[in-house]
Chain A
């Protein structure tokens, strides 16, 4: 992976080459060497260590812009990319909403340290040793283990001809495990900037316990239930709502929160932030143009307080930019990528104890939006679904499909656990609590 100095050299060289030919140029570099060791049936099945680096140049000329991408960071290749971008930009329509390149003054993003040297240096054998721990737990309990252990680093650098430059490099370690028994399964996932914060042994034991506890699953009728969503399940459902906070989604008149700013949309106990500086967060502290990401309250005590904007959607909607834009030009526009949901003080165990009859959901599966107006979503339970009776887990149950409006669900939250760093499979990791909700609508059964 290239250093900040090297990134600046490449970007400065490109700017020098293009400066006299265009009104402005922006150069973006991205790189990753995340390696992924995959295992299934208690053995390694696939093991990859790719390295990728990309360069994007955006040129502005006569009120037009064009962005071209490549993956050769050499001087000759970058110059060829600029030459082609200059040809392309002249073929495009004038962009009436084009913003000038940002200037460095007052644009310094808050520094966040998300790099761990030990994680960056993990080898293929280090990853295999972690996988071995999982397989040993599975073998000891007569279960079948599948999953991944991944580690590495990634960087982003953005510079432009107005003098702005930002660079961010961070590490990542991730482990997800599915333990399967003849008629049941259990799943866990953790991701962190530090591999040392991922206790693979504990994760494997937890997935195994879920698989064993949900053995011999019973069948429950569909209908409305009190449901406890563990944090990963809550994340993958509520994550479907995030784009509704994006300015571009409002400019396009598609958001389910259209016209709801300042209104009470969710329950009193619902508060959301977008907080790039959160101690359990991840990602660069700047947006796709290099602007500092602001930390915002999106929803406070159920009232919609803020949406997030890149410069384009902010101009369209006559709002202040919040530093959430994607690299220009982008159809998606902007996105709140550092989601935090304020938690409460109930533990999952306490939620179970206070439930006369309900269902505990470990994770949800294949979640998709059905109706953007009500944010109706569908999906299924998976890898550890349990019936609760009289304050205790009675048995594992077969999985069920739900059709739930996220807005309605967030008006029916009875209790929240403390929030913590959470990873699901449908959206980016976030900081989430577990939730206890009423009236959760299961519509159909499946066969396992």
Chain B
């Protein structure tokens, strides 16, 4: 691995590149998905290859190969240099890298049990036990479960002298119960939807998230949702449980604070950002209770690492401090464009076959002092509790969002009441975060993993984490996600656009 990386660096320099970095990645993965008492998906395999990134003539070039021979690597490096020289014919300005020390280091993600040492029978037994419990509930029409594991060894070498080896283990676990009748389809999941909870952890994740203990409850709730009322439209105080708040952070804080978006680099596909550089230090993004950090060092966070994919050491920085927009996720080639002295350490690539781009690490809302979720519900006179994501959408600048959850409960005078199906809430990002008035304490804080964040062209998926404790937002629009518009505005007047947020 090391000698091939050195060879690639030498070829790159010989071809005239002014900068070269190489990532050699060995990965093994296993994804098991069950439907009822059958194995619906068993996706297991290995992946190994080399990606090389160069600067030549002031432009970026990238190429990759899965053939780890000197001949194939030399071909890839030469192609990368050729690509960089083609880039140089279309530059707005030459690439400039923020300085970063050269590191010689080895990093291993914290884990107790390597999930690849656990037998497939034991994994299937866990999922099938849950399925049996869910299918025993009358009305459940499909019981699903999934387990995912990735073991990755990554070696990074750069022409500036860094030589870094990192080993990471990531695990995911989840179950879901579906109920269908002639008129409706409803679902409940645990601990999260779309595959469950993902962490930078090993097999010990199954003890942190005891899925079997929750199988019966979610099955019963899925069936109850079929006859539950829909949420009426209106403005209400709402409490978001941790996993939904994690996704809210991901979409409305994490993505807009990516500096490549704010500079317009991703506008063609992933989108732009309302957090443009002139707002840095000048925009009251949220209420004074809102403190959001980008932290690549959280122990079990899915977005944690020792060093990013251009060799920048993982770090913790504030994106929002006491409500004020105060920082970006950045890279070595974007830092100087807004006057930063160094990268924020957020460059990552899905695999050896992709060039790194700015990605979220763990973007987390620091816990508050509102106690437990039970305490926060007791403190709420009239509102809703929203639980577990079902649908999400946000505009190209990350202003207007709409989220739907699997279920919500009415809160009246500090007590939970009726359950509602198809609950939704919507708003404008800075208005929403400025309406936050309570965050539960550290005892409710969980780092929620998002294993499938999409960005870039061609699109790459990435692992990100979002620490959150349940929080309350005042006077939020709810229940608007319906095809039935009750406000017949056909033919409404056109207004002059007069304000700029």
Contacts and interface: CB of A to CB of B under 8 A. Distances in A.
Contact of B483 (A69, A92, A441): A441
B483 A376 contact: yes
Contacts of A217: 497
Interface in B442-500: 457-458, 477, 480-485, 487-497, 500
Contacts of A394: 494
B480 A444 contact: yes
B185 interface: yes
A256 to B, nearest CB: 8
Contacts of A442: 485
Interface stretch (A104-112, A120-128, A280-288, A337-345): A120-128
Given A35-B83, A128-B87, A223 B42 contact: no
B279 to A, nearest CB: 14
B106 to A, nearest CB: 25
A264 B299 CA distance: 55
B369 interface: no
B355 A48 contact: yes
A329 B395 CA distance: 36
A219 B487 CA distance: 17
B494 A220 contact: yes
A331 interface: yes
B497 A253 contact: no
A225 B47 CA distance: 50
B482 A376 contact: yes
Contact of A43 (B92, B119, B404): B92
Interface stretch (A11-19, A155-163, A300-308, A363-371): A363-371
A404 to B, nearest CB: 6
A330 B41 CA distance: 5
Interface residues of B, number: 102
A148 B185 CA distance: 39
Interface in B204-260: none
Interface stretch (B32-40, B155-163, B312-320): B32-40
B141 A446 contact: no
A41 interface: yes
Nearest to A35: B83
Contacts of B114: none
B40 A331 contact: yes
A378 B39 contact: no
A385 B83 CA distance: 36
Interface string A383-413: 1000100000011011101011100100000
B307 interface: no
A197 interface: no
B481 A378 contact: yes
Contact of B35 (A37, A252, A399): A252
A52 interface: yes
B489 A222 contact: yes
A446 B269 CA distance: 19
B92 A253 contact: no
B265 A331 contact: no
Contact of A124 (B82, B184, B185): B82
A240 B76 CA distance: 38
Interface stretch (A172-180, A229-237, A317-325): A172-180
B488 A223 contact: yes
B121 interface: yes
A200 interface: no
Interface in B377-391: 390-391
Interface string A137-160: 000000010111010000000000
A23 interface: no
Contacts of B428: 446-447
Interface in B49-89: 49, 51, 59-67, 76, 79-80, 82-89
B353 A373 contact: no
Size class of the A contact interface (CB-based, 8 Å): 35 or more
Contacts of B43: 67, 69
B63 A176 contact: no
Contact of A178 (B67, B141, B267, B393): B267
Contacts of B487: 222-223
A441 to B, nearest CB: 5
A45 interface: yes
A46 interface: yes
Given A48-B355, A70-B45, A146 B63 contact: no
Nearest to A438: B490
Interface in B1-56: 33, 35, 38-49, 51
A253 B142 CA distance: 8
A51 B66 contact: yes
Nearest to A126: B86
Nearest to B61: A47
A370 B426 CA distance: 13
B268 interface: yes
A387 B492 CA distance: 11
Nearest to A218: B494
Among A96, A217, A445, A448: residue with most chain B CB under 10 A: A448
Contacts of A171: none
A132 B89 contact: yes
Contacts of B489: 221-224
Nearest to B492: A221
Given A93-B38, A135-B90, A220-B492, A254 B83 contact: no
A52 B485 contact: no
Contacts of B422: 370-371
Contacts of B84: 47
B87 A44 contact: yes
A42 interface: yes
B485 A41 contact: no
A372 interface: yes
Contact of B353 (A50, A176, A371, A383): A50
A444 to B, nearest CB: 6
Contacts of B46: 69-71, 81
Contacts of B182: 259
Given A37-B87, A44-B87, A378-B481, A91 B92 contact: no
Nearest to A223: B489
Interface of B: 33, 35, 38-49, 51, 59-67, 76, 79-80, 82-93, 119-121, 124, 141-142, 178, 180, 182-185, 263-269, 271, 274, 353-355, 357, 390-397, 399-400, 402, 404, 422, 424, 426, 428, 457-458, 477, 480-485, 487-497, 500-501
Given A185-B267, A378-B402, 16 more contacts: A43-B91, A45-B265, A49-B61, A72-B48, A88-B42, A88-B44, A92-B42, A219-B497, A252-B141, A258-B180, A369-B391, A376-B481, A380-B395, A380-B396, A446-B400, A448-B395
30 contacts: A40-B267, A46-B60, A47-B62, A51-B76, A52-B66, A69-B46, A72-B48, A124-B85, A128-B89, A150-B458, A177-B268, A180-B264, A218-B497, A219-B496, A224-B485, A329-B42, A357-B490, A370-B422, A371-B481, A373-B183, A373-B184, A376-B482, A387-B494, A399-B395, A403-B482, A405-B483, A443-B481, A444-B402, A444-B480, A448-B399
Interface of A: 34-53, 56, 66-72, 81, 88, 91-93, 95-97, 123-125, 127-129, 131-132, 135, 144, 146-148, 150, 176-178, 180, 185, 187, 216-226, 252-254, 258-259, 329-331, 357, 365-374, 376, 378-380, 382-383, 387, 394-395, 397-399, 401, 403-405, 408, 425, 441-448
7 A-B pairs with least C-beta separation: A223-B489, A43-B92, A69-B45, A446-B400, A124-B86, A221-B492, A331-B40
